[in-house]
Amino acid sequence: MKNANSAESLEALAAEIGENIYMDIAKWHLYLNSANLHTPLAERLLPMVVADNISEDEVLKVLKDIPIKLGGGRKTLPLVDLLPMQCQVNLIDLLEEYQRSL
């Protein structure tokens, strides 16, 4: 049953991230659910949320560790470089709010 709760928690967190956080590419907002990045990001962030260990530094470290391939893989940038500062702030706020709801 714990795995089901964990899977449900992961899905809920991924949905929140996917609907609210986006990459800004040439002034286009590509939401993380459209880019299929919401679930991998939630998988990396959920342990932090459950452990009550959300910090800006740790969240940014996770964002830096997710490579995004551009131009058919000719260039790779860390996810943190594609998220506007406001989305980074919103992500941390979203994580803190999600943690309070657990």
* Residues facing 31 on adjacent strands: 22
Model pTM score: 0.91
Q: Who contacts 69 (Cβ-Cβ below 8 Å, separation ≥6)?
A: 75, 76
* Mean model confidence pLDDT for the chain: 94
Per-residue pLDDT at 64 exceeds 80: yes
pLDDT band of residue 1 (cuts 50, 70, 90) is: very low
For residue 40, the model assigns a pLDDT of 97
For residue 92, the model assigns a pLDDT of 98
Per-residue pLDDT at 89 exceeds 80: yes
Per-residue pLDDT at 2 exceeds 80: no
Where do the structural domains in the chain lie, given as residue ranges? 2-101
Q: Who contacts 70 (Cβ-Cβ below 8 Å, separation ≥6)?
A: 76, 77
For residue 6, the model assigns a pLDDT of 87
Per-residue pLDDT at 66 exceeds 60: yes
